[in-house]
Homo-oligomer: A and B are copies of this chain.
């Protein structure tokens, strides 16, 4: 940025790499940081760096963790016969907020996407198959997103898992609770019809 102090433009530059943060927002954030007390800025910087350093993938499920294995994998109270397969750790966080599911997870860290050059070997499918070989899992819930890549990944995994005699299920697609039929797209409506249940 023209006329900006070098340390400030370095802040702006780094901040603008964050998602949803453009040059203008990065500038506003940088000036805010300059106006913050020094110890608060230190706390922010340390939280970011230490967070990144302490948090890594769980060797079992691939979710973010700061202990090995992660708290969910280590939890004796959880049902080890069910594994829910998701694309990334954010999905685990979303499903955990529902407080309804008591099984385990498997994070793929991506979905199959030939367009982006991501094949089955680039995501944690091998690790999933290794877990299933242990014989404790009786159901695999496929909870990848209902988009092209998510569906392709789900059917790829289905083809691998079904021969093992393990039940494979897919989360339901339909009209979101609180949503309106009028504003729901045709594909979702069609899925909602196909997935209808007797009340």
Contacts and interface: CB of A to CB of B under 8 A. Distances in A.
A142 B7 CA distance: 28
For chain A, the bracket of interface size reads 35 or more
Contact of A93 (B3, B42, B47, B49): B3
A182 interface: no
A51 B7 contact: yes
Q: How many copies does the complex hold?
A: 2
Of A38, A44, A90, chain B has the most CB atoms within 10 Å of the CB of A44
A29 interface: yes
Given A2-B97, A44-B17, A51 B33 contact: yes
B8 A51 contact: yes
A46 interface: yes
Contact of A20 (B28, B33, B46, B64): B28
